[in-house]
Amino acid sequence: MPSTSPVLPLLADAELPDAAAGGHHGAGHRSRLRQRLLNGDGTGLHDHEIVEYLLALAIPRRDTKQLAKQLIDHFGGLAGVLSADGDSLRAISGMGETSAAALKIVQVAASRLVSEPVRRQPILSSWQALLDYLRLDMAHLTRERVRVLYLNAKNMLISDDAMSEGSVDQAAIYTRQVIKRALDLGATSLILVHNHPSGNPQPSKQDIQITREIIEAGKRLGIDVHDHIIIGLDGHSSMRSMGLM
């Protein structure tokens, strides 16, 4: 005999009242978190509560408090959780593609928000915004990544290119590749950026050498190198500010 019970849309699961979505013992706590978000600005939430609520959107039938605390402990804090790569998140017991994506979308949204002044204003007049954007995007990376910001004559960003990604302590950057891309884009200047997964942003001898090679190559073609910024958990360094270029 066909059932006469109402059929709920599959995609409505996350919007069901907590009791209907499994009745787990954390349902009341989740409801209180929701009210704190809707009735205030969320500043009173603990880091694990933020992760907990994000996970709850992806796993509506399960208490996510302990999983949130586990993630905070494993990645060393909220920033580490939200900037972890998908494979690292999925490697944690209890995490799947949906829950990992729920965390990653926050980093994407935050990066877009912070990068807006970088993309709408001349880079050299929005330097702090640029540093905030780069630190958000690169400080927690576990592998070294090189990127180049290409600018036009008005110092507006033309392109933000990820040039290479390497091991935990080294990524290749090639002078010819950097300069050729500048010519292809019609860029008049550029900013070199890479991260140090060790956390220490101090430039190495190799960093200084390759920067000077790119500066010399750029001079011959009218392409200026404004700076080489190194990002680490402990802060950032500017090779121009340090007098190294």
Q: What are the tens digits of pLDDT across the range 68-124?
A: 999 999 999 998 899 888 999 999 999 999 999 999 999 889 888 888 888 888 988
Give the pLDDT score at 170: 63
Mean pLDDT of 17-38: 63
Q: Order of strands across the sheet with 189-195?
A: 157-165, 145-151, 189-195, 224-232, 235-238
Q: What are the tens digits of pLDDT across the range 196-206?
A: 999 999 999 99
List % helix, strand, coil for the chain (3-state, nearest 5).
50, 15, 35
The encoded tokens of residue 26 equal 């954390």
Give the pLDDT score at 25: 52
pLDDT higher at 24 or 85 = 85
Mean pLDDT of 209-235: 96
Point out which residues pair with 191 in neighbouring strands: 149, 227
pLDDT at 160 over 60: yes
Q: What are the tens digits of pLDDT across the range 166-206?
A: 766 667 789 999 999 999 999 999 999 999 999 999 999 99
Give the pLDDT score at 27: 67
Give the pLDDT score at 239: 96
Give the pLDDT score at 245: 87
Computed over every residue of the chain, the mean pLDDT equals 85
Point out which residues pair with 157 in neighbouring strands: 151
pLDDT at 42 over 70: yes
Give the pLDDT score at 173: 86
Give the pLDDT score at 43: 77
For residue 139, give the nearest of 82, 54, 211 by alpha carbon: 82
Rounded CA separation 240/229 (Å): 9
Cβ count near 229 (within 10 Å): 26
pLDDT at 7 over 60: no
Give the pLDDT score at 172: 79
pLDDT at 16 over 50: no
